[in-house]
Amino acid sequence: MTPVSTTTIPTVSPAIKTRSSILPQITAFKNRMGIPTGTKISVKKPADILEYAVNKAYIDMQPRTIKGHEIIKTAKLRNDLADRFFKYFNDPAPSTESDFDKIHSDFCDFFLTGLNKIFASTPQAFGKAQKVINMAFKYLYCFDDAISYLPHFTYCHMPIDSYTLNWCFDNKLYKKSKIRNWSTLKKPDYDILCDKIRKKLAPQSPLIEEFVIWPEEKAKANEINFIKTIMDYIADNYDLFSSSGITSSGITSSGISSGPIKPYVEKTVKNKVKTINNDRRKDGKSPLINTTVLSMLSSISTSALIAGIAKCI
């Protein structure tokens, strides 16, 4: 009798991504930081931390949504936060996840307490604080000497915003009924979500993965919004399309070829391409051409567009 083999096929662990693995994403992100050509920025310089990390992260928090907000009112708070980051990089790096989480929590508490003292009539939630702290770490990760301080970034969190929340939702890490908006996120919910993100991405770093996930989610959202824009147009012109039908409206399996919707689509594409090209220029990429984008619509129309139009008519 032939013995049954008990040999098991070993599982292959995914290669751990490093900073060098995502240099293109770091470069693209750094190009948006407004750093003068030839300027080197350092985590050892409080002025650089303030200008290129804390201040930019503060704007990412969308302070314009705070009633009575004036940027000058938070000058001292932002300066003090930059000093805390400076001290963090001068101290030994946290050796465990829990050590970093304690530091992260202290950073968030410091910022949120200060912010809510300044704008006491409109108290903000933990979601605003995590956005500032996590984005500041992301900016700092792009600094020229960050490679000398990689242990300080080992346990960093993924910044939570609308794009990363969509990724979390797609990966069933939370329910939309539980978390409606990143800015109103409460700390207990954030802690749970952070833990789920870590487990989902392990052994990868949530911060490193965010450099890849965020632009992908943004591109996905842009395509969805573009389709929704066309759907809204069709819904607003229901009589025109219900009488002429899908085919005569210019939407066919081979793309948007003719009919009453074509001029609108061309105008929409032109506007979208202008926005996209602004981003591409910042990333050092060549601009898109309107006609090229229009020809790409066939891949959308065969699935999402036709399905969406069918629901409108």
CB 14 within 8 A of CB 204: yes
SS3 state of residue 256: strand
Cβ atoms of 214 and 60 within 8 Å: the answer is: no
pLDDT of residue 274: 72
For the chain, 313 residues long, give each residue's pLDDT as a single digit of tens: 555 555 555 555 668 899 999 999 999 999 999 999 999 999 999 999 999 999 999 999 988 888 888 889 999 999 999 999 999 999 999 999 999 999 999 999 999 999 999 999 899 999 999 999 999 999 999 999 999 999 999 999 999 999 999 999 999 998 877 788 999 999 999 999 999 999 999 999 999 999 999 998 988 887 677 666 665 665 555 555 444 444 444 544 444 455 555 566 666 656 666 766 777 777 776 665 555 544 444 444 444 454 444 443 3
List the domain boundaries for the chain: 20-212, 237-312
The DSSP code for 173 is S
Contacts (Cβ under 8 Å, ≥6 apart) of 310 = 246
Residue 69 is predicted with a pLDDT of 87
CA distance 249 to 259: 5
Report residue 311 CA to chain centroid gap.
30
Closest by CA to 157, choosing from 182, 188, 135, is: 135
Instruction: Give whole-number Cα distances, 231 to 154, 227, 248, in Å.
Output: 44, 6, 16
Q: What pLDDT score was predicted for residue 265?
A: 60
Q: Return the percent helix, strand and coil in the chain, to nearest 5.
A: 65, 0, 30
pLDDT, position 219: 80
Contact 306, 246 (CB under 8 A): yes
Say if CB 43 and CB 146 are below 8 A apart: yes
What is the structure's pLDDT at 270? Answer: 65
CB contact at 8 A, 76 and 52: no
Both tokens of 287, joined, read 């601009």
Angle between helices 97-118 and 126-141 (to 10 degrees): 120
Tokens read off for 112: 């949120």
Q: At what angle do helices 290-300 and 262-282 cross, to 10 degrees?
A: 110
Cα–Cα distance, 307 to 313 (Å, whole number): 10
Amino acid at 175: K
pLDDT of residue 167: 95
Phi, psi (deg, nearest 5) at residue 251: -95, 110
Write down the residue that tokens 């399309």 correspond to: 241
State residue 278's pLDDT score.
77
**Residue from 105, 109, 107, 112 nearest 89 by CA:** 107
Q: What is the pLDDT of residue 248?
A: 44
Residue from 200, 100, 207 nearest 160 by CA? 207
Determine the pLDDT at residue 76. Answer: 97
